Structure 1
Amino acid sequence: MHEFEAFRAVARAGSFNGGARALGLTPSAMSQIVRRLEDRVGVQLFHRTTRRVSPTEMGERLLTRLNRAFEEIDAAAAEIRGGSGAPVGVVRMVVPRVAYEDLIEPQLVALHAALPRVTLDIRVEDAFSDIVGEGVDIGVRLGEFVSEETVAFPLGPQLRQIAVAAPSYLATCEAPAHPRDLARHRCIGWRQQTGAAPYRWEFAKNGEQIAVAVDGPLILSDRGAAARAAVRGLGIALWVEHRLRPWIEARQLIPLLEDWSPPYDGFFAYYHRNRHTSAATRAVVAFLRKVPGDQGAALSSEPMRRFHPGVLR
């Protein structure tokens, strides 16, 4: 434990001198302790320069695991001191933006009231994440993308994504009658994360599934921004129907290819069940399982389950 405390102190301070001051040790003693730990685990844990000390890749992995372990120790001590047995600690989550705004954010006040000693550390992003490798406790994804190795449960209703365009855009051209017609249109693309190829728009009808590589004047990483660009007449956009509904009802956007746009499974929360799952994580999971799944649009058509929808994953 003493070696791990020394390792964390150096990583936090970015130097052996700073880590030594934090623990009341001499720099030489701190350096020897860390070297003993490196010898014991058989890998180098720090990059060392004259100005800076930073964890190696293996050091980062160890630091992530140690931070979680020490948080659990601190939480256990807090529970003993408080005597209430209420869950205490930090629960890390990674959630796509749409799922956060529609399903998690509306529950934050109630969740805090139910679990006042739990801190949620939420990363709102649309890129795929390895929740185990990144030290995340709970992830949220579309049901299609949840691994069978995890414990998962639905957070909300089925979803549907549709293509839309402004009346001003459609006044200049004929609306697409088939997804392949999008090749002749200006489309506002979406890139899920840096370095990824633009998303191929996906459609399905009567068992036929089509993925279209669209082209146009703009590619964005934010689907809401793409919808707003469509409202301005820049081209055709694709997003979840319930988010587009206000513009559709205001006649600022016109739905397209609706018969090619079936519903699909919505967002699921998932986690890896093991004996190290913290009491705080278990409490958050129990709370989320009770959240009513009535947010978003109510959909009654047969869901599209085996096709990868291009909503925020």
Structure 2
Amino acid sequence: MSRHNLNDLLAFVTVAREGSFTRAAAHLGVTQSALSQTISGLEKRLKIRLLTRTTRSVSPTSAGERLMQAIGHRFDEIELELDALTELRDKPAGTVRITCGDFVLKTILLPRLTPVLLEYPDIKVEFDINYGFRDIVADRFDAGIRFGDTVDKDMIAAPIGPQVRMAAVASPAYFARNGMPRKPQDLVNHQCIDIRYPTLGGVDAWEFEKRGRKINVRVTGQVIVNTSAHVPAAAVSGLGIAYLPEEEFAPHLEDGRLVRVLEDWCPLFSGYHLYYPSRRLPTPAFSLVLNALRGESLEDMPRHVS
């Protein structure tokens, strides 16, 4: 049977349950004559009578009863599932997948999302800790976190943190042994703690800028890692000069275990942004996550039907 006849079957089930063409027509939002023609057409195609009509009532024939038992509950199941989908649309639920780095997860994402997760237990957030430039569409992520100037132009990007300044640092003991670099080019003569980014396949040059002049320096050293998490500890241990956003070194700079150099070569640049495809239709769960990461409190967010 062709798919368009499902409407005819639904019309039959409704009439059989209501026991009346008048009530069934009102329920379906059609005229009584149109409904009668639909049932007659269905019986004609099946070549069997499905309903017994009297002046007072309508009831299924034995064939109609058999058809009711076979398909009636299936329409109920479809209606229940559609109701569930509507509830899913209106009630924040489901999994939001985000690819990000260690530091931003610890300092921004978890602190801001914790109130949302406690308030909405049906929301789950999966974090992919990754320093590669993941293709969030191909890898089926809902969003990613990057510095604003590295986000692709076809993405929607929302700032979730202030501007960032890089910092070149090392321990006082390291500088006592090796002296301090006075300009970025001096770094080639120092031990530097570097990061190998998965997408690049190798270590990237360190970028510096002063009064519009940009310098890229390829450094070397005894220690290379693939995330930033252990870089501050390596620098504190005296293994070389490290170069990361200054907030990642903040506790060690405050207590004197690390010392900054080349500070005038480290300008401000765009901070962390959450980005997602421009064609994406946000779910209620994703909208809550996005608003929380923008810094909105739960009290300021739109309330959803639960």
> Matches of 2:110 and 2:238 in 1, distance apart?
31
C-alpha deviations, 1:14-51, integer Å up to 9, x for none? xxxxxxxxxxxxxxxxxxxxxxxxxxxxxxxxxxxxxx
AA of the residue aligned to 2:193: I
C-alpha deviations, 1:164-190, integer Å up to 9, x for none? 111111111221000000011111111
Q: Contact 1:161–1:261 (CA<8 Å) still a contact in 2? A: yes
> Matches of 2:81 and 2:142 in 1, distance apart?
15
- The reply on whether 1:142 has 2:147 as its aligned counterpart is yes
Count of residue pairs brought into register by the alignment: 218
Q: Contact 1:227–1:238 (CA<8 Å) still a contact in 2? A: no
Partner of 2:265: 260
Aligned partner of 2:126 among 109, 121, 141: 121
Q: Give how far 1:130 is off.
A: 0.8
- The reply on whether 1:178 has 2:183 as its aligned counterpart is yes
Q: Spell out the pairing of 1:200-215 with structure 2 (5 A cutoff).
A: 200-215=205-220
After superposition, the Cα gap between the structure-2 partners of 1:128 and 1:77, relative to the gap in structure 1 and judged at 3 Å, is farther
Q: Which runs of 5+ in 2 are unaligned?
A: 1-79, 298-306
Q: Give how far 1:275 is off.
A: 6.2
Q: Contact 1:150–1:270 (CA<8 Å) still a contact in 2? A: yes
> Matches of 1:85 and 1:262 in 2, distance apart?
44
> Matches of 2:201 and 2:87 in 1, distance apart?
49
AA of the residue aligned to 1:162: A
Q: Give how far 1:86 is off.
A: 1.4
Larger radius of gyration: 2
Partner of 1:59: none
> Superposition RMSD on alpha carbons, in Å?
2.4
Q: What TM-score do you get using the length of structure 1 for normalisation?
A: 0.64
Partner of 2:246: 241
Identical-pair percentage: 33
> Matches of 1:222 and 1:289 in 2, distance apart?
25
> Matches of 2:153 and 2:273 in 1, distance apart?
12
Aligned partner of 2:95 among 90, 112, 117: 90
> Matches of 1:214 and 1:196 in 2, distance apart?
16
> Matches of 2:111 and 2:291 in 1, distance apart?
17
AA of the residue aligned to 1:93: I
C-alpha deviations, 1:270-294, integer Å up to 9, x for none? 11133654333233223333448xx
- The reply on whether 1:229 has 2:269 as its aligned counterpart is no
> Matches of 1:99 and 1:266 in 2, distance apart?
11
C-alpha deviations, 1:186-210, integer Å up to 9, x for none? 1111112276111211110011111
Q: Which runs of 5+ in 1 are unaligned?
A: 1-73, 293-313
Q: What TM-score do you get using the length of structure 2 for normalisation?
A: 0.65
